[in-house]
């Protein structure tokens, strides 16, 4: 059976290394820029024509139009084919 060797740990060395880790952590946290978020709300009513063609809406640009070609990158195409019931 072999004997186990134990290392002696100097408390001053441990404290010094923990202090350096704390300083590094504070320095890293200070270098990170603050995050911001912007919420844009557009409450402009868009009339939906009473046709199967509807209206094309691009949420990113806010563009609207009566055909897909008029609104590149459109996201939504609501339409009304029920004779005026919306």
Per-residue confidence band for 83, with pLDDT thresholds at 50, 70 and 90: low
HSE, CB side, 13 Å, CA atoms: give it for residue 18.
6
DSSP state of 35: P
User: What is the tens place of the pLDDT at every residue in 42-69?
Assistant: 677 888 888 888 899 998 888 888 888 8
The pLDDT assigned to 1 comes to 60
Q: Is this structure's pTM higher than 0.75?
A: no
What's CA 65's distance to the chain center, in Å?
Answer: 28
CA-CA distance, 72 to 86, in Å (whole number)?
Answer: 26
């Amino acid at each position: 059976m072999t004997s186990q060797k134990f290392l002696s740990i100097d408390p001053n060395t441990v404290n010094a290394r923990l202090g350096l880790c704390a300083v590094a952590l504070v320095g890293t946290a200070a270098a990170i820029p603050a995050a911001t978020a912007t919420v844009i709300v557009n409450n402009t009513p868009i009339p939906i024509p009473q046709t199967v063609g509807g209206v094309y809406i691009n949420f990113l640009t806010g563009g609207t139009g009566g055909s897909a070609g008029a609104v590149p990158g459109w996201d939504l195409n609501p339409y009304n084919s029920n004779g005026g019931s919306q």
